[in-house]
Amino acid sequence: MSDIYSIKAKRINGEEADLSEFSEKVLLVVNTASECGFTKQYDGLEQLQQQFGHEKFNVLGFPCDQFGHQEPGDDEQIANFCTSRFSVTFPMFSKIEVNGQKTHPLYLLLKKQAKGVLGTESIKWNFTKFLVNKNGEVVKRFAPTDKPESIAKEIQKLMS
């Protein structure tokens, strides 16, 4: 898959989504987890959604349980956690795998377009973030330690 907009993903409510609905938008794609030391980043992600969402921007959250079993719940539990603890309004999707043989097609594309440290493709931990421009191209990969607030200027540049 070479085009992000040709990829489909299941929303956390079970509905199939076509990522083409996000075409011409700047995206911040994040693999999330509810029981991670970085879980508090949901606040920062939601802040970005509130700051830029009225323009052409969306955070897209993809829960993943591949790192320390830090996303043990099912989709309903994850959705409830995100809305009750962090008032998340950005689109959340069903739990996926970001590494290995069952890697979701979106993450195959993201990792190919923006490699990690020393050119590696694998995701190292929860809350790895990918910034995607309005043309669907990954422009930067951010580590889990990069706080969402620190990405605001980069988002702003892409919005212009």
Residue 82 known to be catalytic? no
Round to whole Å and give the CA distance between 70 and 116: 22
What are the φ/ψ torsions at residue 135 (nearest 5 degrees)? -95, 5
- CA atoms of 58 and 89, how far apart (whole Å): 10
As a whole number of angstroms, the distance between CA 27 and CA 17 comes to: 15
Structure tokens at 85: 């603890």
Residues in the chain: 160
Which of 133, 156, 135 lies closest to 48 in space, CA to CA?
156
Helix axes 41-52, 152-159, angle to 10 degrees: 20
The sign of the torsion formed by the CA atoms of 139, 140, 141, 147 equals negative
Q: Which of 19, 27, 36, 59 is catalytic?
A: 36
**Would you name the residues annotated as active-site residues?**
36
